[in-house]
């Protein structure tokens, strides 16, 4: 059995069923445990939770919960007019609440022409549902989202990325509202019209691909909001980016995928996660050192001092930094490489012990009141992480432990940087996660790709 708050009872049953343990018997704790007084907690445990624990441990096990909505991949589940189909899919919670394009067999078959994989080949097994994902059901969700058939190779690579154990998709269902995001690199981004300029996540193919990945997470990963996807305030549409690779070439910087070990002419999808789509900074200086400090400030304010204490040895504490081309050019003109910029930001992105202690004591997600001294005693904060004399010059001073800080991220490599967005604006934005690593996968194309995409009118430099 297990112990859960009221809103998590459905999650317990469905996760148990997906993991082959359908007979879990959750004991409910009503209310908000981290805000209850000791007296309130004792009353609720005595009157509600403990009786259920006793019942669950002493009564015979009955037939476990099972989901009866499973269908075969090629089964026709409904026939009707467009509105009737949408109503049926909505009532079964197979949509994101917006109208869908019905995934008819002919539309799905058209998508399958654009991937080299057989329709029923296993691509990945997604968590927490443990569903075996194939090109067929990837295509069905792509159709529903409004993707074009030629988007199919991007969808398959993106699914491979989130299905990689290093990505850690299962943890995105936590209450923090963690969301997926994707960056497409290589010639395919330009060929498919995946935007890298002003308003990029809201234009071109970006919106449809992002929506498709949200439906795949929802329908195939089993992360349905309010059931297994437990974000307290919900989720935005997964954003999709592309880097401005023409500018990068002018600057002498490699695109992300080339730095990750892929050939520049290979197309890739990178996936990571974020808890925020927040305020954008306006770096206003011609001095690269000062702009690096602005980016570092944004990194620190986008993250969590408490998380940084507990994750100093974790590869999943990642701050992804997006900078517009004009900002990137300042660094390139001053002979900064992308790696140099990562190191400069990492050096300046720090938390004071006062910030660590305040959040860890009063605002930690675990609900445990601790300070940095408790973390040191328990070994959660490695020796040598707390350093004096590393206080950034711009940082506000505090009375206690004035000159002692910890880094926001364990190492510079956990601050990946992408160049995109409005080329006429001085902007930066930081995405933050404590659950994901940045995973990059190559996009695989069928041998007759050039023939298939002739209708796009893409010739010359963007032809693969």
Q: What is the pLDDT of residues 252-302, one digit of tens each?
A: 999 999 999 999 999 999 999 999 887 899 999 999 999 999 999 999 999
| Band (32; pLDDT cuts 50, 70, 90) | confident
pTM of the predicted protein model:
0.84
| Better pLDDT: 214 or 173 | 214
Would the pLDDT of 332 be above 60? yes
- Asked whether residue 41 is assigned to any structural domain, the reply reads yes
- Asked whether residue 17 is assigned to any structural domain, the reply reads yes
Pairing of strands 26-29, 2-5: parallel
Would the pLDDT of 151 be above 50? yes
- Asked whether residue 9 is assigned to any structural domain, the reply reads yes
For residue 367, what pLDDT is reported?
A: 57
For residue 392, what pLDDT is reported?
A: 64
For residue 410, what pLDDT is reported?
A: 93
Q: Which domain covers residue 18, as residue numbers?
A: 2-58
Mean of the pLDDT values across residues 182-192? 97
For residue 393, what pLDDT is reported?
A: 60
- Asked whether residue 108 is assigned to any structural domain, the reply reads no
For residue 18, what pLDDT is reported?
A: 66
Residues 160 and 217: their CA atoms lie apart, in Å, by 12
For residue 94, what pLDDT is reported?
A: 95
CA-CA-CA-CA torsion for 393, 396, 400, 406, nearest 10 degrees? -60
- Asked whether residue 48 is assigned to any structural domain, the reply reads yes
Residues 252 and 243: their CA atoms lie apart, in Å, by 14
60 CB contacts (<8 Å, ≥6 apart)? none
In the DSSP assignment, the letter for residue 170 is: G
Query: Please, is 164 exposed, middle or buried when counting C-beta atoms within 10 Å of its C-beta (0-12, 13-18, 19+)?
Result: middle
Q: Residue 295: which of 422, 413, 438, 429 has the closest Cα?
A: 429
Q: Residue 262: which of 188, 152, 327, 205 has the closest Cα?
A: 188
Q: Residue 129: which of 278, 16, 279, 215 has the closest Cα?
A: 16
Sheet holding 404-407, edge to edge: 350-352, 404-407, 387-388
Matching residue, tokens 């609440």? 97
* Strand, helix or coil for residue 409: coil
Question: 94 is written with which tokens?
Answer: 């197979």
Number of domains in the chain: 1
For residue 138, what pLDDT is reported?
A: 98
For residue 44, what pLDDT is reported?
A: 81
Range with the lowest mean pLDDT among 3-17, 55-69, 77-91, 367-381?
Answer: 55-69
Strand partners, 203: none
What is the phi/psi pair of residue 400, to 5°? -100, 140
Mean pLDDT for all residues in the chain? 88
For residue 356, what pLDDT is reported?
A: 85
For residue 71, what pLDDT is reported?
A: 57
Residues 372 and 327: their CA atoms lie apart, in Å, by 36
Strand partners, 229: 225
Q: For 385-432, what is each residue's pLDDT tens digit?
A: 777 766 666 555 554 556 788 899 999 999 999 999 999 999 999 999
271 CB contacts (<8 Å, ≥6 apart)? 158, 161, 162, 167, 180, 181, 182, 436, 438, 439, 440, 441
Question: 96 is written with which tokens?
Answer: 């994101």
Would the pLDDT of 197 be above 80? yes
pLDDT > 70 fraction of the chain, expressed in percent and rounded: 89
For residue 368, what pLDDT is reported?
A: 63
Would the pLDDT of 162 be above 80? yes
- Asked whether residue 19 is assigned to any structural domain, the reply reads yes
Residue 393: count of CB within 10 angstroms of its CB: 7
Q: For 43-84, what is each residue's pLDDT tens digit?
A: 888 878 878 878 778 887 665 444 444 556 678 899 999 999
- Asked whether residue 15 is assigned to any structural domain, the reply reads yes
């Amino acid at each position: 059995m297990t112990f859960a708050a009221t809103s998590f009872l459905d999650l317990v049953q469905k996760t148990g069923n997906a993991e082959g343990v359908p007979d879990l018997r959750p004991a409910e704790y009503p209310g908000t445990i981290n805000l209850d007084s000791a007296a309130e907690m004792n009353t609720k445990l005595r009157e509600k939770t403990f009786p259920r624990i006793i019942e669950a441990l002493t009564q015979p096990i009955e037939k476990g919960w099972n989901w009866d909505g499973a269908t075969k991949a090629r089964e026709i589940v409904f026939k009707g007019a467009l509105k009737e189909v949408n109503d049926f899919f909505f009532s079964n919670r197979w949509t994101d609440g917006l109208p869908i394009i019905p995934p008819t067999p002919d539309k799905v078959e058209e998508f399958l022409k654009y991937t080299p994989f057989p329709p029923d080949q296993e691509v990945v097994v997604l968590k927490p549902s443990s569903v075996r994902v194939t090109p067929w059901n990837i295509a069905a969700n792509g159709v529903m989202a409004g993707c074009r058939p030629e988007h199919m190779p991007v969808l398959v690579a993106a699914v491979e990325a989130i299905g990689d154990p290093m990505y850690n998709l299962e943890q995105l269902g936590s209450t923090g509202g963690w969301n997926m995001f994707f960056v497409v690199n290589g010639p395919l981004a330009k060929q498919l019209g995946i935007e890298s300029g002003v308003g990029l996540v809201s234009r071109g193919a970006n919106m449809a691909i992002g929506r498709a990945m949200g439906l795949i997470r929802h329908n195939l990963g089993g992360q349905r909001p309010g059931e297994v996807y437990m974000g307290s305030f919900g989720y935005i549409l997964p954003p999709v980016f592309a880097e401005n690779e023409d500018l990068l070439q002018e600057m002498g910087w490699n695109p992300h995928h080339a730095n990750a070990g892929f050939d520049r002419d290979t197309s890739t999808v990178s996936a990571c996660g974020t808890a925020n789509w927040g305020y954008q900074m306006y770096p206003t200086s011609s001095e690269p050192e000062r702009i690096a400090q602005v980016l570092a400030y944004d990194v620190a304010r986008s993250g969590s001092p408490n998380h940084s204490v507990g994750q100093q040895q974790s590869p999943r504490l990642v701050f992804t930094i997006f900078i517009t081309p004009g900002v990137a050019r300042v660094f390139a003109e001053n002979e900064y490489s992308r790696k140099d910029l990562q190191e400069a930001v990492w050096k300046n992105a720090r938390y004071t012990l006062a910030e660590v202690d305040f959040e860890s004591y009063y605002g930690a997600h675990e609900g445990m009141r601790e300070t940095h001294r408790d973390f040191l005693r328990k070994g959660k904060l490695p020796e040598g992480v707390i350093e004096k004399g590393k206080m950034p010059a711009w940082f506000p001073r505090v009375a206690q432990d004035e000159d002692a800080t910890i880094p926001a991220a364990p190492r510079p490599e956990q601050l990946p940087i992408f160049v995109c967005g409005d080329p006429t604006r001085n902007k930066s934005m930081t995405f933050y996660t404590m659950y994901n690593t940045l995973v990059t996968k190559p996009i695989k194309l069928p041998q007759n790709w050039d023939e298939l995409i002739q209708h796009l009118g893409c010739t010359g430099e963007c032809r693969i």
